[in-house]
Amino acid sequence: MVFVGVGCASVKLNTQVPAGFDLSGQWILVPELSDETPDPRKLRARSERKELKHRKVLSKERAQVGSLLFMTHDFPVLLAERMDIEQNADSMGIEYDRGGYRDVSWGKRTRELWDVYSGWEQGNLVIISQGHNAKTKETMRLENDGRLLVVAVEVDADGEKVSVTRVFRRL
């Protein structure tokens, strides 16, 4: 077991893969069951409006405004229409149709500007990413006897919250 501190709350993530939880395989997006991907242009406009409100803030802090823009870059599942996943006892690799690749190891890791905590909570894979001024929680759950993968992404950045759910069908 790994105990992960997130903000004021403590999250308990188990690093042992639950029996029957296997994401290995090819997955294709089910658009009619999925939310629309946030438009990066609209996110940029929101961030720019927020930056204008903070003109008196130190330049270092001003540079940190706009972290909502990382969403589609750092979390390619939001744009993916297809994923190929390989999973083993201590990690998984995800290849996205748009050319991106992501390694996820169970436990705590550092990835670029993020501290990443991965493990299971109530039978679902949970990936919590914390960076300066932003926190993201991805929850992956299998449904329909493992034929559907529901990925819920919750982002809390710059005082704003964005939630997106994407649903994939196993091929």
CA proximity to 131, closest of 155, 167, 102: 155
4 within 8 A of 121, measured Cβ to Cβ: no
Evaluate the CA torsion angle 74, 151, 31, 86 in order and state its sign.
positive
**Higher pLDDT, residue 22 or 76:** 22
pLDDT of 59 above 50: no
Sequence ranges of the domains in the chain? 2-170
90: left (phi over 0), alpha (psi -120 to 50) or beta: alpha
Total residues belonging to the chain: 171
Q: How much helix, strand and coil, in percent to the nearest 5, is found in the chain?
A: 20, 50, 30
Q: What pTM did the predictor assign?
A: 0.80
Instruction: Give 62-80 pLDDT, tens digit per residue.
Output: 344 345 656 667 788 988 9
Task: At 167, list the tokens.
Answer: 């649903």
| Cβ neighbours of residue 127 closer than 8 Å, sequence gap 6 or more | 104, 116, 117, 118, 137, 138, 140
The torsion angles phi and psi of 143, rounded to 5 degrees, stand at -135, 170
CATH superfamily of 2-170: Calycin beta-barrel core domain (2.40.128.20)
Q: Which two tokens stand for residue 101?
A: 């690749």
DSSP per-residue string spanning 10-45:
EEEEB-SPPTT----EEEEE-GGGSPPPPPHHHHHH
pLDDT score for 157: 79
Percent of the chain with pLDDT over 70: 73
